[in-house]
Structure 1
Amino acid sequence: MSAVEPRPVAAAPCACPAAVPFLHEPGPAVDSGAGALARLGDHVLDVHSSARSGGAVVVTDPGLRATGIVDEALTVLAAAGCPTVVVDEIPGNPTVPSVEAGAGLVAGAFPGSRPVVVALGGGSALDAAKGIARLAADPTGPGLPLIAVPTTAGTGAETNGFGVLEDPVRRCKVYCGDSSTTPRVALLDPLLTHGLPPGATAATGVDALVHALESLVSRGRSAVSEAFAAEALRRVWHRLPDAYADGADADARAEMLIGAHLAGQALTRSGLGLVHGLGHALTAHHGVVHGRALAMVLPEVVAWSLDDTADAPADGGAWARVTEILGLRHPGELPGALARWTDAVGVPPGIDRAGLGLGSDEVAALATTAAADPVGRNAPRTADRTALVGLLTRSLH
């Protein structure tokens, strides 16, 4: 059951008219279902055949390796006769140095060859794998072929070829990858998410919700991205509380994995917005877990975007669609409903509740970083540095 009970409302108008031009390109092939991991070897062999590659590189993190999931994947690959190396030193927020180190290991293990990169884990492993696939390949040619196996229902990183890395020197997020590092296959096995603790389930699920919401109101949306985003928003809003309350709820886990994937398909086509811009800054400057950083600023950003007194009026059609999907009566209810929903799954809104103790200098630095993040360009109401300082300041109280 969702944190906010649905109420009947009049159907909202389509937010994106069919006359708006767009280009829809296919993403990865999707293999979805309980037990899909058993087919990983077949997919690697298929990619070998089409890409003249050899061997496999499993990119993951130490925490996941300790669960036994990595060993299960290695057993499947061994049965397929595929020589494999593992890159498992990926931090929770993947960094440029960790990706460079991983790419060096791959180049040393497979000199003159093009192994398949198997990205196994949450968004961090998937993003790092894209950077490794790009850097370990000949810079004049395409990146190494990639298969993505998400073990969290959040980032939707299996849908596109771009990863987000942390640059510890400049203290900001940078983007890596290109169309050639879009996964050939997205293998969605909900059984791999059953062991995810409640806190991680909630934080990654909040990320999926924000992906869907920001995509649905994005300036860059199309009829296709809107369809993906609307269905993703509906699934995540209703099923994350269930998955959070009972991690063994097989139906909720499966719904969440599909919802996160659909949200990834949406954001790949539409772009995101200011919630992610501010969230990236909080992660880069203060190490806040991504989903928690998004929840900290989500209600305030939505309230600011809906401000009817602003010089640029709110996009009424898009926000009406969000309101309808969440079962609310009026867009003005959204900030409060979102705050209650994230709070109910243990990811509270408001920067003050994180105990960061930010002063004016820290707020100014966060605003500068967020203003430079290109992710904010598709926000329904764009913000300069001054506006971002105001948003952050209000989120502190």
Structure 2
Amino acid sequence: MTRGRLSVELSGRTEYGPGVVAELPAFVEQLGHARVFVVTDRGLRATGIVGRVEKILAGIEYAVHEDVGPNPSTAELDRGAARLRAFGDAVVLALGGGSALDAAKGISLLAGNPQALAADADRLWDAADGLPLIAVPTTAGTGAETNGFGVTEDVRACRKVYIGHPSVKPRIAVLDPELTLGLPAAVTAASGLDALVHGIESLSSRGSSPISAAYATQAVSLVGRWLPVAFRDGSDLEARSQLMLGAHLAGHALTLSGLGLVHGIGHALTAHTGTPHGVALAAVLEEVMEFSAEAAAAAHESTAWALRVPPGSAIGAVREISGALGIKRPLRELGVERDRIPVIAADAVADAVTKNAPRLAREADVVSLLRSVY
């Protein structure tokens, strides 16, 4: 049971435990700043979390930027960067789910490069430093607090763009499971499924290493056990705590190993339909595992061990978890038009993460897979 306070220095600093968000002013001061620019999504204030953080920051000069949508666009990042430049030097406090955290990284980086636009993402990996970040996730899924890159949507090109820089990796990740107690069951399922996929794909990816596998195995174990519990009872603080820790470890795993085809397809589905990321992943998870089964045999055995099921049962165990969450939907229910499947498949194959999969997929392979779940 992990319920007490924990302070850890990995490649970044992690502050974990119920109520730890109350220490934000001290964390800001430790980074050598006295001003805070909060980046959050448009819907979070209704949960009471933004108001709670504002009270905690009452003795500090701060501004709250709430112009981040579920799948943040390059235009949203440009607007946020313009406001941050006007606000001036500050710690950027990323508050919310993966979209808010990803957007905050892009906004921070763009603010440190006054002439840059989010559409320049491919050229910003060697740019000047962004402003320092503190990440406060309010979901347990993306692991975005563990790395210095994010995903944004280029609406004109209808594709996902990776934007990042070492300087915008959060200096401090503040993991307070109390902030996830009010999450609706559907959000718990989608974000938690994302974390589970991070662990599974990290184990099977071409970039897997003994270190990433250690993170990933523990992540799959924690998420596989506690996600269904948190889904059934969102007020269970133990389940919320363990799920948040598992998602965080999965973030460290994917940062080291990279992901694979499930995420390549998921990114394409979200870009074309607006489907929530975790729901898009669930649509194809077991099918991609089956497609990769021979190449990923050892990784799937590690997955089975982490999920406490017999060897050879990983895919069935994942199917059972997905079924318990009620998250899997056929593509037609996600708004996919059948004649758009080849375009989605092409985008999935072109996605950078797909090249990291244990079995490389051709467009025809992905078309066949997508048609099988239509």
The alignment's TM-score, normalised by the length of structure 2, stands at 0.92
Q: Distance in 2 between matches of 1:290 and 1:273?
A: 14
Q: Distance in 1 between matches of 2:163 and 2:90?
A: 19
1:321 aligns with 2:296: no
CA contact (8 A) 2:273 2:336 kept: no
CA offset at residue 70 of structure 1?
1.0
Tell me the SS of whatever aligns to 2:207.
coil
Tell me the SS of whatever aligns to 1:174.
strand
CA offset at residue 349 of structure 1?
4.9
1:107 aligns with 2:89: no
Alignment-derived partner of residue 29 in structure 1: 13
Q: Distance in 1 between matches of 2:281 and 2:223?
A: 15
CA contact (8 A) 2:101 2:135 kept: yes
1:74 to 54, 65, 75: 54
Amino acid in structure 1 at the alignment position of 2:359: R
Tell me the SS of whatever aligns to 1:120.
strand
Alignment-derived partner of residue 340 in structure 2: 362
Summarize deviations over 1:237-274 as a string: whole Å, max 9, x none.
01001000000001000000000000000000000000
CA offset at residue 357 of structure 1?
5.1
CA contact (8 A) 1:279 1:294 kept: yes
Summarize deviations over 1:124-146 as a string: whole Å, max 9, x none.
10000000000011365211000
Query: Which 5+ residue runs of structure 2 have no aligned equivalent?
Result: 1-8, 115-126
CA offset at residue 341 of structure 1?
1.4
2:320 to 340, 349, 358: 340
1:96 aligns with 2:74: yes
Higher RCO, Cα 8 Å, sep 6+: 1
Amino acid in structure 2 at the alignment position of 1:302: M
Q: Distance in 2 between matches of 1:67 and 1:325?
A: 34
Name which one, 1 or 2, has greater alpha-carbon Rg: 1
Q: Distance in 1 between matches of 2:243 and 2:72?
A: 24
The alignment's TM-score, normalised by the length of structure 1, stands at 0.86
Matches within 5 A, 1:5-84: 26-47=10-31, 49=32, 53-79=33-59, 82-84=60-62
Tell me the SS of whatever aligns to 1:154.
coil
**Runs of 4+ that moved beyond 6 A:** none
Q: Distance in 2 between matches of 1:63 and 1:265?
A: 27
Q: Distance in 1 between matches of 2:158 and 2:283?
A: 20
Q: Distance in 2 between matches of 1:381 and 1:350?
A: 24
CA offset at residue 230 of structure 1?
0.2
Matches within 5 A, 1:1-397: 26-47=10-31, 49=32, 53-79=33-59, 82-110=60-88, 114-138=89-113, 141-306=128-293, 313-331=294-312, 333-352=313-332, 354=333, 356=335, 358-359=337-338, 361-396=339-374
| % identity of equivalent residues | 48
Amino acid in structure 2 at the alignment position of 1:37: V
CA offset at residue 340 of structure 1?
2.5
> CA RMSD for the aligned pairs?
1.5
Q: Distance in 1 between matches of 2:309 and 2:340?
A: 36
Amino acid in structure 1 at the alignment position of 2:245: I
Does the C-alpha gap of structure 1 residues 260 and 109 become closer, same or farther in structure 2, counting only changes over 3 Å? same
CA offset at residue 316 of structure 1?
2.8
Summarize deviations over 1:2-24 as a string: whole Å, max 9, x none.
xxxxxxxxxxxxxxxxxxxxxxx
CA contact (8 A) 1:150 1:158 kept: yes
Tell me the SS of whatever aligns to 1:62.
coil
Q: Distance in 2 between matches of 1:242 and 1:355?
A: 26
Does the C-alpha gap of structure 1 residues 189 and 355 become closer, same or farther in structure 2, counting only changes over 3 Å? closer
Q: Size of the alignment, in residue pairs?
A: 354
CA contact (8 A) 1:27 1:182 kept: no
CA offset at residue 31 of structure 1?
0.5
CA contact (8 A) 2:300 2:314 kept: no
